[in-house]
Every structure is written in structure tokens, then in C-alpha cells.
Structure 1
Amino acid sequence: MERWDIDRYRRPALVPCEVSAGIEGLTIGVGDDAIDLSFEGVARDEVAEVVTQLMRPASDIWVRLGEGACPAWIRTLTVQLDALSLIEETDSGIDSITSDAQRAMALCDEVGQRLAVVVGRRLAMYQDVLSVVHQMLTADTHDRDAMPSAFPFSDEGSGKFAGNFALQSLHFQLAYARHNAPEIVFAWQRVLADVFQHVGWHPATAVSDDAPLERFRSVASLDPVDLEMYLLSFAHFVEIAPLRVGRRMTSADTERFTEPCSGLALAARAERLLLNALEQLGSNAYAAAALESHDITPLVKGLYIEQYHVTDRFVEILGPLLSRRLKRNLRARLFQYFQEEYGHEAFELATCVALGMNEAEVRASVPLPLTALYIDAYTVLAHRLPTAFFTSIMVTEGLRDQHSPVHEHIAALVESALHAGDIVAKHGETNDELNHPSLSRLFLADVPHVSAAEQRYSLESALFMLEVNMRQLESVAFFYGEQTRLQFHGLREGRRPLEI
């Protein structure tokens, strides 16, 4: 970190105080808070005048200080006063926050209107979905940190929405938002309220949302890219919820697991479950498009853009696990994993730049909805149930002794591209050397006992993450595959959001 400098203030001012002549200099402040200032070579009255001016944030003396036009002794004086914590920032930031809040409100309204157009075409089909989503956003959440008893929207109690991938996705993103960014929940409520208003229908339990600008000042604290990402993600999953694509494509009978087992037994069961699911799912749109690529197309570039977004936040996923009081061996292994993953986003970003992309544009691009879900779901699993995370991590790190011809083809293609080969090769070699496909077994080997309920939730989590991973790749193919000139995801000028 750099050293603090007084020039970092936007509108500084000396804390209001009394100035009086002392025996050898000046005294500022009153009573116990009084401070004696001593100085040489400068008249006392001149120092007193400067101190008086420093109490006014609009004084020209602050402008001259910023321009380096003041005598050296004045700067020395302000630095000393700042070291005594007597300089304060008088700009409350309210103008900036108000402007950001207005932009946040406009963005919520834009996404709400876009979603309302889709819903309005087939309102009857969306009414039940909107009711469920509204209930999710307004439900009591006191037990959200408790041990999960059943995977969301997976049992008979979910009625017609049992096995609904889109609502499961919203469940995980809502759980992430409530724990890490509750302002997002309010933004989603605003979007939903806009939809109700535009389509002229709302559930009986919904109320009109005429939220004042004041409430949007909390939303303005979010990073604009994050806000845009979560608004587009929310709209995407609401949009697909009643459609065929919104249903789960994978399922497993986990009710048969009624007895506890060891962590290693759970790992083996998860491996069998995922291998069977992969065989049933077969090929997908991304795999077909990728294998046909023989040049550095937007499809290839898009893969590395989305991988950058994942790796850029991946170490955040481990945060909830690192704070748990797990056994020492397991904690040590988690910290080692953290160290091994830290900084991997540099590989992906460097690859994007080597492939001709602008670094600032990549950083400012909005991750696809499935990319955001991928990160959030893993983070929620790490917070809720370590065994679910340990079981699911084999999806992202790879199953043991399994190779992906698609990823090998893309990696080889990029390695042969100008300036990109060394970067991609280094990243691949790093992952191979670290034996990350063995991570699930290594983690679970230090878990001697897994209850039946934990087994069921962990296995269903692994299967869900497998589907998230596959859908995320397909969304890359859908969004980037037909592009002839790379276009980033988002709502800013020159970009477009993912649409069904």
C-alpha cells in the first residue's frame, strides 16, 4: 500500500477551533484538546492567519496547496495537523452518491422494462413464477445460515417448480446477496416492482414500490459492474424459469443414502454420479462450436473473458472456509489451496490482452449470468456446508484421470497464437503440477464422518454445479459464438445483454 498523503482529500479543512497566542507560539483548541504550535522564522500573526484560513474548506489556501504554490512551511504545518488527526474531509460525498443513486435507479428501471416486455407477451405463463420470485425476495431469512436440510426446489414440496434450474439459480444468488450485498436484494425488488407495474398485474401479497432516492443511495455503494451483472442475471433466470430451458437436465436419487459414511466414500459416490451425468448429457453447443474453431474467433476470446471473471473472484469463494475452525490438517490444506489459486486471474487477463483485447475493457465487461451464478453458488456452498464444497469442487478442478478434448483443442489453438502460447502453457502447467483434480479426495480424506443429510445435499450440490458448468459453457457459445467482431456483455453503448 502507498503512504497516505494529505493531497488525497477532496475538500479538506482544519477542525474548527479557537486560536490564541501562547507564550512561545500559538494554541489551538480549547481545554484538554488544546495543542501548542511552535515555529521559527515565521511571524506569529501570519501563522494565526493561515490557521484561521485552514478552517475554511473554501479557502484559497487549500487550492494553492494543491497547486504547490504555498511556502514550504504551510505544507509542513498541514501535514503535522493531519498527523494529529485535525484535518477532516468536509465533502460528504452526497452529490456523488446522489448521482450514482440516480444511475442505479435508471439501470434497475431499464432492466425492469426489458423483463416486462418479455413477461408481458406471455403473462399467464409467468404469473406463478413471478409469485414465487416475489415470495423469495420478501421471505423471512432468519434460518438462512442453518444447516441445509434439502436442496432448494428439488423435493415434492416445490410442486410444479421441483427441479427448476432457474429458480435454484435464483435461490443461490439470493443467498449470496443476502450475506454479502443485501443492496442487491432491494435492486431486484425494484426490478420486480417495475415488471408488475408495466404488465398491470401483481401477486396479492405484493405492494407498490415507490422507493425514494434515499433508499437507492445504499445501492449506489455497489460497484456499477456488479450491479449490472446481478440485474441482468436476475432478469435472465426469471425469463427462463417457466421455459423448457429453465428445467433441470440432471437428476439423482439421493434418498437412498440413509446412513453416514466417510468423506472418501462420499468422494467416490460423487465421482460415479458425475461421470454418469456427463455420459447422459453428452455433447453440448459449446463443445461442438469449439471443436470447429481453427482460428482465434470471438468464441475463443469469450471463453478466456469468462474464465478471467471466474478466476478474478475465485479466492473469494474460499473466504468462508478459511474462517471456519476446521481440523488443522484440513485448514492447512485449504490455506495451501488459497495460495495456489491466488493470482491466477493474471494468467487469464494476460491471455486476453495477448489475443488483442483491451485490458480495461475486459475488466469492465459484465460477466454472463451463468458465470456470476458459478461464482456465487460455490461461495454459498463454502459458507453453508464444507462437504458440499469439497464434493462440488471436482467440477471446476476436473475429475481424476479425465481429459477434455475441447479444452485441449482450445488451449492448443491459443498456444499457437502470437504472444499467447507461453502464457497459456504456463497456466496449464501450473494446474497440472498442483494436482488439483485430486483436491476433492484430499479434502474429504480429512473428513472422517458425513451424515446422511450432508451426503444428500453434497451430492445434489455437485450435480447442480456440473449443470451450472455445462450451461455456463453453452452460454459462452450462445453469446460469443455467432459474433464476427468481439462484443462484450452488458448494457453500455456498444454492448448487449444475453438474451434467450
Structure 2
Amino acid sequence: MERWDIDRYRRPALVPCEVSSFGSEALTIGVGDDAIDLSFEGVARDEVADVVAQLMRPSSDIWVKLNDGECPAWIRALTVQLDALSLIEETDSGIDGVASETERAVALCAEVGQRLGAVVEKRLAMYKDVLAVVQQMLADEALDRDAAAVAFPFSDQHGGKFADNFALQALHFQLAYARRNAPELLLAWQRVLDEVFGRVSWSPSTEAVQNASCESLHSLASLDPVDLQTYLLSFAHFIEIAPLRVGKRVTSVETESVREPCSGLTLAARAERLLLKALDDLGSNVYASAALASNEITPLVKGLYIEQYHVTDRFVEILGPLLSRRLKRNLRARLFQYFQEEYGHEAFELATCVALGMNENDVRASVPLPLTALYIDAYTVLAHRLPTAFFTSIMVTEGLRDQHSPVHEHIAALVENALHAGDIVAKHGETNDELNHPSLSRLFLADIPHVTAAQQRYSLEAALFMLEVNMRQLESVAFFYGDQTQLEFHGLHEGRRPLEV
């Protein structure tokens, strides 16, 4: 980290104070009840006093000259000393910048809301129940109590007419993530809904909607513009698909028969059997077919590495909630080892993207697909809520033991043969193999001797949910990148486009 420097202020000024002199070579700066003596040599006392008086005015030319290197060395030394005493303050409140960022954020919410409204407007009757549920989810903070891990959201028993609705389960996890990590998104999502309700002249509530205050709207300016786009587009996407056939779960399973506690290793074995059966039932998918049919580096191949970069770039966030838990020492040691082994892997993905001809800044600024964002958020929420759910689900991303993916092997072979990319991809693959990451779930769960029946049910459903997230995420890569002839990033602006259903 770089050292703080006085040149970093935008509009600095010395804290208003009284200046008095004593003797011929000393000044006293009074700040309230405190007083600081300034000693100096080779400079007239009155000249120092005059500079101090100018420093109290943020509009003084002396600050401009200081930044341009046109002031004598003693003046810079004086300002550095005053800054070290915490007597220099930033007088630029930044409100102009905040107002500008707020306007852009509100405009983006309106744009996404109008896009979603155009879809809802065509089939309002079909979307009314979905919009009512989403509105309630936004308003009901109790939905994300930590105790919620006893029942998987929108499961058969607790989901009512929306039982096993993948899209609403996705929104549940993103709402849970936002409440803990980005509460400003709740306001942004409500703005999207307000735009929809205004466009279709309907609202699930008869109560008058209270407009957000300017102060609360300013909180939107704290969101990174890429993150705001990410979560607005994912919110709209999952609402759009919720009442459609594509919005239903395809990997749901009955877990009510689990009524007795078990060991962590037993849970691992049960999860492995469940996931293997689900994989067999799912069969091939759109992404697998498209990838195996590709014999060159296409946008489909590039898109996979773009989305993998987004996942690995946020790995620290995913594992963070577990690292702060007071788990048994052996389990904590394994978690920290896992963190060390995975930390920095985004460099592999980014280097591969660059080697495949992409601009590094474009990749960093790209907006992840909705399913990619969900993939990250759901894992992060599971890590916070229930360690066994995270440990059971992690085999989805790290791979099942002794299972190989012909699709990923095919893609890796293509990229390894591409100019400058082979060594990078090979190194990443070799690193994962050497670290035995497909064994992680068993290693983690082996250190958990007792898992309640409720924890088992939630963990098994979470593993199946993450399997479906993974499958849908790959298919979304195929849908978005597969028909491109020239690579186009996901998003709304600068020639980009959002994912279409």
C-alpha cells in the first residue's frame, strides 16, 4: 500500500485557528483549547504567519502552487507537519460527484425497470403473483434470519404455489447477500419495481409508495457501477423467468425422509450419490453440445474464461464468512489452507483472457452474467449460514472425486494449443490437480462429527441447488456468447447487451 501524501487532498485547508507569536522565531497555533508551537529557522516569523493564514483558506493560491511544486521547500515541510498533526482537512464534500453518481444510478434503475416493464406489460396477469412475492421479499427482512437455514427457500413444503421455483430461490439468495453486504441494492431493486408498477399501472399493494429520500438515494452512489449493473440485470432476469417453465427447478429432491443425525462423512457420501444421480438425470446441456462442437477459439470459449474470472476474482468474499467462524482448529486450519491455495487464481483466468486477445481493462470492467453473480452470492450466503451446506456444495465447483469432464478437457485442450495461452491454462489445471481439491468436501466434513437432520436436509438441497446454478451458468454462457462472431461483453452501455431469456 502506498504512503499517504498531502497531494491526495482535492481541496485542502488548515483547520481554522488563531495565530499568535512569541519571541522572534516562534508561532503558536491555537485550535480550541489546544495550542501547538511552531519553530522555524531561516524564515521570518511574519512570513510564516502569513503562510499559515493563507493555508486556512482552501481557495488560496498557495495550495495550487504547492501542488505544482512552485512553493519553497519549507512551505511543503510545514504543510506535511500540519497534516501529520491532523490539522489539514478536506473541504471538498464531494457532494457534486455524489449527486452526479446518484443521477446515473437512478437512471440505470429506471432503464432496467423500463426494460423489465416492457416484458411484464405483455403478460401482466402471469407476472402479478411473482411481483407480489418479490415485493414482499424486499420488504420482509425476517426472510434472512440466520435461523432460516432450517428450511431451504421455496422448497416443496414451504414454497406454496412457487415451490421449487429456481428463479425465486435465486432472488432469495441474492437478497440475503445484499442485506448483509450491499443494502443499497435493496433500494435500487425497489426503484426497478416502482418503474415496472408505474409502466403497467398496477401494484400488488394498495398502500401509497413512499418515495426514497434524497439522502437514501445518495447511498446508491457508493455502489460500484459494474456491481450496480450486475445486480440490476440479475434481478430483472430472475423476475422475468420466474413464471416461465425455465424458471422451475429441475434438480429438486425429496429430503423429508432424513430424520436422524449423521456424521459429516456420511453426509458427504449421501451428497455424492445425490449429485451423481442428478448429473446422470440431467444428461448433456446446451453448453456441452456447443463446446464439444467447437474446434477453434470462439467467443463461446472466451466467454467461459471471462465468467470464470469473475468467480475467482471474488473468491475471497465467498470464503470470508467461514474464516471468521470459531470452528475446531483442524477445520479452521484446512479452511485457511484452502484460502491460501485458491487466493490469486483470478490471475490465471485474467492472463488466459489476455492471451486469447482480450483487453485486460475490458475484462475487469465487464458485467458478469446473472447466473455468474448468483453462483458467487449463493456460495457466500451458504458459507455464512451453514458450514455443512457450503462444504457439501463445494464439490460442485471443485469436482466430484474420480469424475472427469470431457467438455472442460476439450476446452482446455483448445486453449492450450492457442498462442501464448497453453502454459497458463496448463499451470492452472496442474495446480488444482496437485492440491487434491476434489477431495475437499470429504476433508472438510470429516472434521464435523455430528450433523442434525435439519442441517442434512438443508445441505443436500443446497448441493443440488448449486449443481443447477452451475449447469444454468454454463448454459447462460452458451446462450450469450455462443452466437457471437465477434466477442461482445455483457452489460447495457458502450455497445454491450444484456442476456436475453
TM-score category, normalised to shorter length = over 0.9
Name 2:12's counterpart in structure 1. Answer: 12
Question: 2:16, 2:31 within 8 Å by CA — same for their partners in 1?
Answer: no
Query: Displacement, 1:470?
Result: 0.2
Poorly superposed stretches of 4+, deviation over 3 Å:
none
Query: Displacement, 1:147?
Result: 5.0
After superposition, the Cα gap between the structure-2 partners of 1:312 and 1:143, relative to the gap in structure 1 and judged at 3 Å, is closer
Q: What's the secondary structure of 2:451's corresponding residue?
A: coil
Name 1:258's counterpart in structure 2. Answer: 259
Name 2:57's counterpart in structure 1. Answer: 56
Matched, 1:138 2:139: yes
After superposition, the Cα gap between the structure-2 partners of 1:227 and 1:49, relative to the gap in structure 1 and judged at 3 Å, is same
Name 1:21's counterpart in structure 2. Answer: 21
Name 2:117's counterpart in structure 1. Answer: 116
Letter aligned with residue 335 of structure 1: F
After superposition, the Cα gap between the structure-2 partners of 1:44 and 1:340, relative to the gap in structure 1 and judged at 3 Å, is same
Q: State, as a whole percentage, how many aligned pairs show the same letter.
A: 81
**Structure 1: where are the runs of 5+ without partners?**
none
2: CA distance, partners of 1:334 / 1:157:
33
1: CA distance, partners of 2:118 / 2:47:
68
Letter aligned with residue 326 of structure 1: L
Question: 1:193, 1:209 within 8 Å by CA — same for their partners in 2?
Answer: no
1: CA distance, partners of 2:295 / 2:308:
20
Q: What's the secondary structure of 2:89's corresponding residue?
A: strand
Name 1:495's counterpart in structure 2. Answer: 496
Q: What's the secondary structure of 1:34's corresponding residue?
A: strand
Deviation per CA, 1:399-430: give whole Å up to 9, x if none. 00000000000000000000000000000000
TM-score (norm 1): 0.99
Question: 2:116, 2:236 within 8 Å by CA — same for their partners in 1?
Answer: yes
Question: 1:102, 1:213 within 8 Å by CA — same for their partners in 2?
Answer: no
2: CA distance, partners of 1:147 / 1:329:
27
Q: 5 Å matches for 1:23-422?
A: 23=23, 24-30=25-31, 32-141=33-142, 144-146=145-147, 148-205=149-206, 207-422=208-423
2: CA distance, partners of 1:257 / 1:41:
85
Q: What's the secondary structure of 1:36's corresponding residue?
A: strand
**Structure 2: where are the runs of 5+ without partners?**
none
Question: 2:144, 2:176 within 8 Å by CA — same for their partners in 1?
Answer: no
Letter aligned with residue 13 of structure 1: A
2: CA distance, partners of 1:332 / 1:30:
51
Query: Displacement, 1:42?
Result: 0.6
Question: 2:348, 2:428 within 8 Å by CA — same for their partners in 1?
Answer: yes
Letter aligned with residue 295 of structure 2: H
Question: 2:352, 2:424 within 8 Å by CA — same for their partners in 1?
Answer: yes
Question: 1:190, 1:209 within 8 Å by CA — same for their partners in 2?
Answer: no
Q: 5 Å matches for 1:444-463?
A: 444-463=445-464
Letter aligned with residue 375 of structure 1: I
CA RMSD between the two structures:
1.0
Question: 2:9, 2:90 within 8 Å by CA — same for their partners in 1?
Answer: yes
Question: 1:134, 1:206 within 8 Å by CA — same for their partners in 2?
Answer: no
1: CA distance, partners of 2:56 / 2:32:
19
2: CA distance, partners of 1:413 / 1:150:
43
Question: 2:17, 2:32 within 8 Å by CA — same for their partners in 1?
Answer: no
Letter aligned with residue 204 of structure 2: P
Query: Displacement, 1:32?
Result: 4.0
2: CA distance, partners of 1:467 / 1:204:
33
1: CA distance, partners of 2:127 / 2:113:
14
2: CA distance, partners of 1:37 / 1:250:
73
Letter aligned with residue 433 of structure 1: E
Aligned residues: 500
Matched, 1:2 2:17: no
TM-score (norm 2): 0.98
2: CA distance, partners of 1:442 / 1:31:
61
2: CA distance, partners of 1:289 / 1:31:
72
